[in-house]
Amino acid sequence: MQYFPQKLDPGGQSALLGELRRIMAQAPLYTPTMPRSGRPMSVRMTNCGPLGWVTDKERGYRYQATHPETGKPWPPMPQMLLDLWHDVGGYPFPPEACLVNYYAGPAKMGLHQDRDEEDFAAPVLSVSLGDIGVFRVGGRSRKDPTRKLELRSGDVVVLDGEDRLAFHGIDRILPGTSELLLEGGRFNLTLRRVSKPS
């Protein structure tokens, strides 16, 4: 795991937030549901890029090219995210999906692996905007010890190599720790390569 504290300065954070607002105007945040149980997740989400990660009771975890509620294609990925991937991702092919999770109030994300992709040689890159998120990361087994890291607005984390399939999650957010978002809360943008390069 590589950790880049304050990789985005305040100006970069504001610029990315502006891009994110434009994305959400075209692809609104929605509440996904868990496979089988249909239980709503505590985060709201959207995507940008050629593909988007979605989940629902009927079809489970998957990538698809359209928003599940509007039926429209996901908006393009901002160039600054593509540049960031090129800068720190260490992978020669571009990301195909950027999942946007919005955490507010008690929202959290349990320990999980990112394994719905075809190519685990590609990294997973995440960017934090807004309030601090208490990030927990372990090993490749759910039983492995974990450690906590407070991710602040502008921080970037890359899971790659041995840590590409590390279990990770967000225990909670710390409200009021950032002034970036007028509505409060935290956005996490996760860039992924989905398919194997041909």
pLDDT tens across 36-94, in order?
A: 899 999 999 999 999 999 999 898 899 999 999 999 999 999 999 999 999 999 999 99
* pLDDT at residue 198, as a whole number: 80
Answer yes or no: is pLDDT of 109 > 90. yes
* pLDDT at residue 159, as a whole number: 93
With CA atoms as reference, report the closest residue to 142 among 166, 159, 119: 166
Measured CA to CA, the distance from residue 63 to residue 103 in angstroms comes to 21
Q: Which helix (H) or strand (E) holds 84?
A: helix 79-88
The first and second tokens of residue 66, run together, are 């359209």
CA–CA distances in Å: residue 70 to residues 30, 42, 155: 10, 21, 31
Is the separation of the CB atoms in 192 and 94 below 8 Å? no
Query: In the chain, where are the structural domains located?
Result: 2-192
Give the rounded percent of residues in the chain with a pLDDT score beyond 90: 84
pLDDT in tens, 143-191: 999 999 999 999 999 999 888 989 999 999 999 999 999 999 999 999 9
With CA atoms as reference, report the closest residue to 195 among 111, 110, 100, 91: 91
CATH superfamily of 2-192: Alpha-ketoglutarate-dependent dioxygenase AlkB-like (2.60.120.590)
Measured CA to CA, the distance from residue 163 to residue 166 in angstroms comes to 5
* pLDDT at residue 21, as a whole number: 98
